[in-house]
Amino acid sequence: MKDWNILKYKYSNLFYNKFFGFECDDGWYDLIEELLSKIQFFDVKISQIKSKFGGLRVYVLTNDSFVNRIIEFYEEKAKKTCEYCGNRGFIVNERWIAVLCNSCYYKKYFKNTKKCYKFHNDECYNICA
Ligand SMILES: [Zn+2]
């Protein structure tokens, strides 16, 4: 489990209010920390950071186009990063849309769907191969 409070206090100057919370899973922690470190000295107020429709969304109040480009870069990077563990992931559209790696996909969905989304591994071998 990642301690999101560390990020909250370390970059407290970036957040719009003290009730700020991160609404996404641990796999994006490192990516978000990197993002915050890159924009920490700019005039920026972040109102929300969340996972929405499988994507990282950073809601920010700024007119600085450089900051907006940095945020876009990390939102793109999140599309290829498993939200649960941080490994390389792909977009899965099951009960909801999420970015998952092969292994998290199997843990979360395969037992119910018995459907191989993209790659085969030992767990699906008998059914799919
Ligand atoms: Zn994963």
pLDDT in tens, 19-78: 888 999 999 999 999 999 999 999 999 999 999 999 999 999 888 999 999 999 999 999
CA dihedral 25, 29, 31, 34 (to 10 degrees): 150
For the chain, give every domain's residue range: 1-79, 86-129
What integer best gives the mean pLDDT of the chain? 87
The Cα–Cα gap between 107 and 15 comes to 34
- Strand-pairing partners, residue 81, are 88
CA of 103 to the centre of ligand 1 (A): 6
CA of 82 to the centre of ligand 1 (A): 5
* Side-by-side strand order, sheet with 45-52: 22-23, 45-52, 55-61
CB distance 58 to 46 below 8 Å: yes
**In this structure, what token pair is assigned to residue 115?**
């459907």
CA of 79 to the centre of ligand 1 (A): 13
pLDDT band at 12 (very low <50, low <70, confident <90, very high): very high
CA of 27 to the centre of ligand 1 (A): 7
- Global pTM value: 0.84
